[in-house]
Amino acid sequence: MQQISILGLGLIGGSIGLGLRRWSAQHENALRVIGYDSDMDKQTLAKKMGAVDDTTWSLADAVRSADVLIIATPVGSMREIFSDISPHLKQGAIVTDTGSTKVNVLEWATQLPGHVSFVGGHPMAGKSESLEAADADLFRNATWVVCPGVTASEAAIKNVLGLVAAVEAEAFFADPAEHDSYVAGVSHLPMVVAAALVRTATADQSWRDMRTLAAGGFKDTTRLALGSPEMHRDISLTNRAAISRWINQMVVTLEDFRSVLALEDEEAAGEQIYEFFSEAQEQRARTEVVQSRASERNPESAGNLTSEKVSDSMGRMFLGGLGRRDKNKGKKRTG
């Protein structure tokens, strides 16, 4: 039995635990999932929800017996965590994370001892910040970015790929700098824009009356502003250059639109405004099509994890090659 320890029991950590325990239950309880969080209430809830097999009050205890250690804390705390866990990691342990930025995390991970492998990760999924919302299906068909450290072993990378597959996500290898640039545009810029829209509207002296008119459009557009300020702070501090570049692009787009609004020729203005929204609609629709096709390429992922294909894949990759096991005979098969 292999032990996976999860540090940080929020939405992501809790959902990983639920997904891995579901997979384990369908594979002869091959895993033991241990949870640790500095918030004791989260530990209690995680165990009650079945997100972990057990919890520990000691960070050292959570680390020292872990074959795979998943750091699911805010990215800003990871440098200190790497320092704290380093003395307790056993020979051959694998460390991975779920941080929203990767360049700094990969740099901080170089302080880990040479007898462990670090494989950076970032699951592109989430719907709230609370452990109560944890869901074993949170990562189904979601992209899970994988950024191996330069010294990570091939076996460690395969183990992390197995973990990703066990929670039914789609692994996507990326260079750390490219990852940070890409997510700045599709994830971090929307986070900033949502907060900016809320701050702009609520700062107006008419907000008390305006808010009664704030319906679906405002709420949908500003949903990200409900996210954790701590998480958003850490993301912003660890991805400043990329976020700044995308903000500059956004400013140019808004200024162009403002220039169109100022045109005296109403017909010309109307044509350009229509083109602005029409092009945005088309690009947004293409995004939906891409996501739909990704799901269609993986029809079995909508079923349960006992399918032969998933079982074979996990047996070959996950945690040192557990191997396929015949449920009736209970012995390893070859092939």
Per-residue pLDDT of the chain (335 residues; tens, 9 = 90+): 899 999 999 999 999 999 999 999 999 999 999 999 999 999 999 999 999 999 999 999 999 999 999 999 999 999 999 999 999 999 999 999 999 999 999 999 999 999 999 999 999 987 666 788 889 999 999 999 999 999 999 999 999 999 999 999 999 999 999 999 999 999 999 999 999 999 999 999 999 999 999 989 999 999 999 988 999 999 999 999 999 999 999 999 999 999 999 999 999 999 999 999 999 999 999 887 655 545 554 444 333 333 333 334 444 445 544 333 333 333 333 33
Q: What is the pLDDT of residue 290?
A: 58
Q: What is the pLDDT of residue 104?
A: 96
Based on the fold, state whether residues 139 and 250 are members of the same structural domain.
no
Based on the fold, state whether residues 152 and 215 are members of the same structural domain.
no
Based on the fold, state whether residues 66 and 185 are members of the same structural domain.
no
Q: What is the pLDDT of residue 260?
A: 98
Based on the fold, state whether residues 164 and 274 are members of the same structural domain.
no
Based on the fold, state whether residues 282 and 311 are members of the same structural domain.
no
Residue type for position 189: L
Based on the fold, state whether residues 131 and 245 are members of the same structural domain.
no
Boundaries of domain holding 234: 178-296
Whether 117 maps to a domain, the answer reads yes
Based on the fold, state whether residues 73 and 48 are members of the same structural domain.
yes
Q: What is the pLDDT of residue 289?
A: 61
Q: What is the pLDDT of residue 127?
A: 65
Whether 333 maps to a domain, the answer reads no
Q: What is the CATH number of the domain that holds 291?
A: 1.10.3660.10
Report how many domains make up the chain. 2
Q: What is the CATH number of the domain that holds 34?
A: 3.40.50.720
Based on the fold, state whether residues 127 and 194 are members of the same structural domain.
no
